[in-house]
């Protein structure tokens, strides 16, 4: 759960910055752009299929979607590039999250169910916090390596109409986002491997 929470939430933060800084979306438009953060069918599927299969499939879907999102450029369009990836990550996250939640509390003694839920929630929250911090650090470090002060340069060059400076700064910033997203995808791939090796629970209808 910690690893699965690492990538998708960091992606949420990075793409929000991308929409606002690069695509110049305002807060309302950015919020609307996240509407495809769709729900899933995991609670129904996990009854018939082993949790490992469902969670592994979801994690791999999210991994591939984040890798796709990591190919963004300063000129990437929302409909052409972002929307499909946003929906796929959300769909995959739902498939990953629900089986792990069910497994965390299934067959646990009633007196231990609170502790089991707390451990699961703690892992999720730690994954979110560490993911955002780590991916933000990777993004900023990469951007500063490409062009120090890129964000400040971008906001100074736009009003001045300096297209060359805007292009250079935008590319440096996007390189940072792309590198961080790729790193998040690697963590999700590791999560898929952990699920494959360690999760052995049976489908709910076989218990």
- Local confidence band at 108 (pLDDT 50, 70, 90 cut-offs): confident
* The pLDDT value given to residue 169: 97
pLDDT of 165 above 90:
yes
> Which residues, 6 or more positions from 71, have their beta carbon under 8 angstroms from its beta carbon?
81, 178
Distance from C-alpha of 193 to C-alpha of 37, rounded to nearest angstrom = 25
pLDDT of 13 above 80:
yes
The H or E element spanning position 104 is helix 83-105
Select from 13, 95, 9 the least CA-distant residue to 60: 95
* The pLDDT value given to residue 204: 54
Distance from C-alpha of 121 to C-alpha of 124, rounded to nearest angstrom = 5
Neighbours of 206 (CB within 10 A): 9
- Crossing angle for the helix pair 150-160 and 163-198, to the nearest 10 degrees: 140
- Local confidence band at 74 (pLDDT 50, 70, 90 cut-offs): very high
Distance from C-alpha of 92 to C-alpha of 174, rounded to nearest angstrom = 24
Contact assessment for residue 98 and residue 42, using Cβ atoms and an 8 Å cutoff: yes
* The pLDDT value given to residue 105: 77
Q: What is the mean pLDDT of the chain?
A: 87
Please tell me the total count of domains within the chain. Answer: 1
At residue 25's C-alpha, the angle toward residues 97 and 163, to 5°, is 125
| 87-96, 101-110, 143-152: least confident range | 101-110
Give tens-digit pLDDT for 110-161.
888 888 889 888 988 999 999 999 999 999 999 999 999 999 999 999 999 9
Q: What percent of the chain has pLDDT over 90?
A: 51
Neighbours of 55 (CB within 10 A): 31
Give tens-digit pLDDT for 37-71.
655 555 667 667 777 888 889 899 999 999 999 99
Domain that includes residue 177, residue range:
2-206
pLDDT of 76 above 90:
yes
Q: What percent of the chain has pLDDT over 70?
A: 91
The CATH number of residue 24's host domain is 1.20.1250.20
Distance from C-alpha of 174 to C-alpha of 133, rounded to nearest angstrom = 18
* Single pTM value for the model: 0.87
Distance from C-alpha of 148 to C-alpha of 39, rounded to nearest angstrom = 40
- Local confidence band at 10 (pLDDT 50, 70, 90 cut-offs): confident
């Amino acid at each position: 759960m910690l690893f699965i929470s690492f990538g998708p939430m960091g992606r949420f933060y990075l793409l929000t910055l991308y929409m606002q800084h690069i695509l110049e979306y305002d807060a309302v438009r950015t919020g609307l752009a996240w509407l495809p953060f769709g729900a899933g069918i995991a609670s129904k599927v996990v009854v018939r299929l082993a949790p490992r299969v469902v969670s592994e499939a979801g994690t791999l879907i999210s991994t591939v979607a984040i890798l796709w999102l990591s190919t963004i450029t300063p000129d990437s369009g929302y409909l052409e590039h972002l929307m499909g990836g946003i929906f796929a990550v959300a769909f995959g996250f739902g498939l990953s999250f629900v089986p792990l939640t069910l497994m965390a509390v299934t067959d646990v003694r009633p007196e231990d169910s609170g502790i089991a839920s707390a451990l699961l929630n703690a892992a999720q929250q730690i994954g979110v916090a560490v993911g955002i911090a780590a991916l933000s650090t990777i993004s900023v470090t990469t951007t500063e390596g490409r062009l120090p002060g890129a964000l400040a340069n971008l906001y100074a060059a736009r009003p001045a109409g300096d297209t060359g400076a805007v292009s250079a700064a935008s590319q440096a910033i996007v390189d940072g986002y792309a590198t961080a997203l790729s790193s998040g995808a690697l963590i999700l791939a590791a999560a898929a491997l952990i699920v494959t090796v360690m999760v052995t629970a049976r489908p709910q209808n076989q218990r």
